[in-house]
Amino acid sequence: MCWRCCWCFSWASIRHCKDEREKYTTSPRKCDLVRLQVQNVDKPLYRGTFHCFQSIVRQESMLGLYKGIGSPMMGLTFINAIVFGVQGNAMRRLGSDTPLNQFLAGASAGAIQCVICCPMELAKTRMQMQGTGEKKSKRKVYKNSLDCLVRIYRKEGFRGINRGMVTTLVRETPGFGVYFLAYDVLTRSLGCEPEDPYMIPKLLFAGGMSGIASWLSTYPVDVIKSRLQADGVGGVNKYNSIMDCVRQSLQKEGWRVFTRGLTSTLLRAFPVNATTFATVTLFLMYMRDGEECRIQDSEPQSVQLQPLQQQTQPTSM
């Protein structure tokens, strides 16, 4: 092994040692930049979340923290539209607003949005992994997130861009069920009513805590999903299946492997989900108030036109 590899993690130095390069490039990591780069099974680059954050800024500048942002920007709009649309329609189909129905509606929304979520996270993971430790990447495999998906499709086909779909389903289905269930329970407990002057802070708190609860309930599955999606980047596939990934990860790192990157995930989960839920809730309240005002404005006209019909059929209102 070349001694220079022990002192420098740049790609230029690692090329001096073939064995070390393979070990470095094929190490599995998680999605989201800091969460993805915190872990390296064979040779950890970072001592923890904050050390990873400092190292990325020092080695790659602040722009390094935004690698792979194109994929979320393209997909999150559609994902949120699908999630809240499906959840709302599912609740109307189920009828009663109960905790069980909240969980089932959220789970159905989580399962359907996997069609977009899985390819989006695959592109994000691949984009965040390239050029690690370089301020200006010399060897860019992918130009952007769309180019990443196109290249994967040409090389591996439809199955390639859906790598990790099973684990994504296993994560998102119960995860979104817990997500909406926790939000419903918290908003009821806090008494989030329209006339409450502290409604917005309560909505932000309920949304943030719902995001944390969702991630805590499914985070071990996310670790395996991200490792499967990152597998094969260096040209060598380390895992044959989901269970093989679980077995190898446990053998090398123990049970703590399922908590790697959890700190950065929870730090992100609270503000993101707080703003998401509060925005959606306030928007729906505004739209419903507008509909009620329009109905009230049209009521006098309907009474004048059909007074007898309203007297004979009072329940139609």
Cβ(109)–Cβ(82) below 8 Å: yes
- What is residue 249's predicted lDDT score, i.e. its pLDDT? 92
- Residue 38 tokens read as 């915190």
Report the distance separating Cα 131 and Cα 275, nearest Å.
32
- What is residue 307's predicted lDDT score, i.e. its pLDDT? 41
- What is residue 21's predicted lDDT score, i.e. its pLDDT? 36
**Side chain identity at 301, as an amino acid letter?**
Q
- What is residue 15's predicted lDDT score, i.e. its pLDDT? 38
Report the distance separating Cα 73 and Cα 271, nearest Å.
17
**Side chain identity at 7, as an amino acid letter?**
W
What residues contact residue 46 under an 8 Å CB cut-off, 6+ apart? Answer: 37, 38, 40, 52, 55
Smallest CA-to-CA distance from 108 within 161, 162, 169, 182 is with 169
- What is residue 297's predicted lDDT score, i.e. its pLDDT? 60
- What is residue 9's predicted lDDT score, i.e. its pLDDT? 36
Q: What are the boundaries of each domain within the chain? A: 164-295
- pLDDT of 174-188, one tens digit each? 999 999 999 999 999
Instruction: Please state the pTM of the whole predicted model.
Output: 0.72
Which residue has tokens 């999630």? 83
User: What kind of fold does domain 164-295 have according to CATH?
Assistant: Mitochondrial carrier fold (1.50.40)
Report the distance separating Cα 48 and Cα 52, nearest Å.
6
Q: Counting Cβ atoms within 10 Å, is residue 151 exposed (0-12), middle (13-18) or buried (19+)?
A: middle
Report the distance separating Cα 152 and Cα 158, nearest Å.
9
- What is residue 243's predicted lDDT score, i.e. its pLDDT? 94
- What is residue 263's predicted lDDT score, i.e. its pLDDT? 87
Summary count for the chain: helices (H), strands (E): 14, 0
**Side chain identity at 151, as an amino acid letter?**
R
- Those residues of the chain that have pLDDT short of 50 are 1-31, 33-34, 36-42, 301-317
- Four-CA torsion 38, 128, 163, 20, nearest 10 degrees: -60
- What is residue 80's predicted lDDT score, i.e. its pLDDT? 87
b/e per residue, 5-41, with b = 16+ CB within 10 A? Answer: beeebebebbeebeebbebbbbbbbbbbbbbbbbbbb
